[in-house]
Amino acid sequence: MTYPNAEVARLLNAEFIPVRINTQDQPEVARRFHLMWSPILVALNHREFPLHRIVGYLPPAEMLAQLHFIRALNEIRSARPANALQIFRQLYAEFPRAEVVPEAIYWEGIAAYRQSKNKEDLWVIWRQLASDYPNNIWAAKTTLLPEGNMP
């Protein structure tokens, strides 16, 4: 189980507003979020902008990596790409083998581009993603942009 883990609890208390909604007790809230199943973990920014959604609970290390990933997405959404880049580096250092790492690298490229406005900064990171994770769907996504929409 994830929540008894001390680091998960510390991170949720320090960096998030943690909410538990029982879908049977609060069906109207569950309907608002179009849930097909539970447990589902939903992350929003402070203005209810959807940041991320996870189906099912995760083991503590994967949950911690996902929480850092959500923090980084929140920083990108809040136009603070430098903060996002710092969080991504922390995520890779602490959880190098977490499932979310290739997806995080994809978004790291976007954060780097948002920071510098230089497309080459995005492509340097995306090329490294394709090289390090050649069979991963997030690497494949970097090659499937339609012509004319290449960032």
Partner 1 sequence: MSVELIEWYTDLEAAMSAAARSPRPVFIDFWSYG
- Chain contacts with partner 1 (rule: CB under 8 A): 3-4, 6, 9-10, 12-13, 15-24, 26, 29-30, 33, 35, 38-48, 51, 67, 70-71, 74, 78
**Least distance in Å: CB of 123 to partner 1?**
28
Q: What is the DSSP string of 79-140?
A: T-HHHHHHHHHHHHHH-TT-TTHHHHHHHHHHHHHHHH--HHHHHHHHHHHHHH-TTSHHHH
Longest dimension (CA), the chain: 50
CA angle 125, 130, 136 (to 5 degrees): 120
Nearer to partner 1, 20 or 117 (CB): 20
Nearer to partner 1, 46 or 97 (CB): 46
Cα–Cα distance for residue pair 140/135, rounded to 1 Å: 7
**Least distance in Å: CB of 141 to partner 1?**
24
Nearer to partner 1, 22 or 116 (CB): 22
**Least distance in Å: CB of 6 to partner 1?**
5
**Least distance in Å: CB of 5 to partner 1?**
8
Nearer to partner 1, 77 or 141 (CB): 77
Token readout for 46 is 């402070």
40 in Cβ contact with 54 (< 8 Å):
yes
Nearer to partner 1, 24 or 143 (CB): 24
**Least distance in Å: CB of 114 to partner 1?**
18
